[in-house]
Amino acid sequence: MADLKRRLRRWFRPPRRFRLTREGKWFIGATLVLGFAAVNGGINLLFLIFGMLLCLLLANGVLSEACLRRLVVTRRLPATIHAGTPFLVGIAVRNVKKRIPTFSLEIEDMVANKPVDRRCFYLKVPAGREQETAYRRTLPRRGIHGLSGLRLSTRFPFGLLRRSMDLDVPAELLVYPALVPVTDAVLSSALAELNDRQSAARTRRGEFESLREYRLGDDPRDIHWRTSARRGRRFVRQFEGNTGRLVVVALDDAPAMTPSPGTDATAPFEAAVSVAASAALVLLRRGYQVGLVTSGGLVAPGGGNIQASHILRHLALVQPRTAADTGSVRVPLPASLRGAAVLRVLPGSKIPRLETSGPAARRAS
């Protein structure tokens, strides 16, 4: 008896939903009319047709249930998502049944227990096979976006009703800031200062300090080939005071100007976050060691793809503060980074402003 109850619970969980289609409503209406006529007239032929229609309804329910049973669904998210940029969410379905295939399957992602406006459709998933498809989605805002689960539904075989069930598969999407074009004209002053400092650093190197593993953006001339050959991976020389390729992006998180009535108060800050992220990625691709300073914390300078992910993750979660909270619109630079070149991003009323500070800028002023 206990085994029978356990089987029944496994059959009916997770809970199914039934929704009649337009064709199903007409079919049931015709079946009821035919049944009333058969009972009222006592005609055996009408009873026979009425029984056949009831068998079709029963077969529709049994076959649709067989399509939804014993399916393993996996959501595959992209590694990088930027606000305002379309991305693909892959959904893989594996049919673990031994003989029965699944037909006409639809899968939707759920946000706050409501399906999104996109869905994946599988015409046939053979027994013991796996199929994957993807849907395109765009998220307008950066930050963390949650997915509550997946909804599986089918109208197989006759399209009379839609049978569905929900799977509790939560997930979180970390959306990075939107990227904007950052050209040489925008970064001309910053790049000129950095190039001057880089040249000065190359001609006036300090004393040898240590060896470390090679990172993307390091100068190949600094590779210590003897140690690299002995250990099987590349190592570079590190010198004291070699800061010519170091730049810090400072993001001010208080609005520089009060937005006009009727506009989004966070729009200037969101635009500044996008400019800061885009400028940091441009500098990283050009081989600079890039750090980030905001009121929410500090990302130590570094290079390569790992540093880019650290900066983007920090900018995806940073939140603005009011001028009353900060006391000043400028984020102070830590004492350990005051000798580096600084690219400061200031939120404005319409277009964020970029300005540089550092030894070269102070000499020019």
- CATH assignment at residue 119: 2.60.40.10
Considering the domain architecture, whether residues 165 and 293 belong to the same structural domain is answered as: no
Residue 358 above 70 pLDDT?
Answer: no
Together in a domain, 166 and 246: no
Which residue would you say has higher pLDDT here, 264 or 287? 287
Is 329 a domain residue?
A: yes
pLDDT of residue 334: 73
- Identify the three-state secondary structure at position 10: helix
CA distance 231 to 236: 12
Angle, helices 267-285/304-317, rounded to nearest 10 degrees: 180
Output b/e per residue, 283-305; b: 16+ Cβ within 10 A.
bbeebbbbbbbbbbebbebbbbe
Q: Are 68 and 152 in contact (CB under 8 A)?
A: yes
- The reported pLDDT for the residue numbered 234 is 87
How many Å apart are CA 88 and CA 79, to the nearest integer?
11
Task: Looking at the structure, tell me whether residues 253 and 279 fall in a common domain.
Answer: yes
- pTM of this structure: 0.73
Name the residue range of residue 47's domain: 14-54
Domain count, the chain: 4
- Answer yes or no: is pLDDT of 196 > 70: no
pLDDT at 60 over 50: yes
d(CA 190, CA 341): 8
| pLDDT, average across residues 330-355 | 66
- Record the tokens describing residue 294, joined without a space: 């905001």
CA distances to 202, 221, 290, 322 from 229, rounded to whole Å, are: 25, 15, 29, 54
Q: Is residue 323 part of a domain?
A: yes
Report residue 345's pLDDT band, with 50, 70 and 90 as the boundaries: confident
Tell me the pLDDT tens digit for each residue of 224-276.
888 888 888 888 876 654 445 688 888 876 654 555 555 566 788 888 899 88
**Which pLDDT belongs to residue 363?**
40
351 pLDDT more than 60: no
Same domain, 143 and 264: no
Quote the pLDDT of residue 126.
94
